[in-house]
Amino acid sequence: MQTLSATKARSNLFEVITKAVDGHRQFRVVSRRGDVVLMSEEDYSSLIETLELLSTPGLLKGVRKAKREIKKGQTYSLEDVFGG
């Protein structure tokens, strides 16, 4: 994550926004009042969704179990599940 002063971020705001949106980059903007992070809305939404999923009780345990089953070959084909 690149760190910018508030002054530098302000003077290059459109460039910083373009890099955040098009390049999926995050920027730490530091100031005397405190620091902030600038990132695209798409990346922010994805981050929040991931945090919500990871905070779902039992989800991570289920994913780990599924990975073990896949390694053991304990899987079902689409035909097994949906018929065909």
Residue 84 has pLDDT above 80, yes or no: no
CATH of domain 2-74: 3.40.1620.10
Tokens linked to 22: 């098009």
pTM > 0.85: no
Chain segment 44-82, per-residue pLDDT in tens:
999 999 999 888 888 888 989 999 999 999 998 889 889
Chain segment 14-35, per-residue pLDDT in tens:
999 999 999 999 999 999 999 9
Measured CA to CA, the distance from residue 37 to residue 35 in angstroms comes to 7
pLDDT at 59: 87
Residues in contact with 36: Cβ distance below 8 Å, sequence separation at least 6, in sequence order: 28, 29
pLDDT at 27: 98
Q: Are 60 and 53 in contact (CB under 8 A)?
A: no
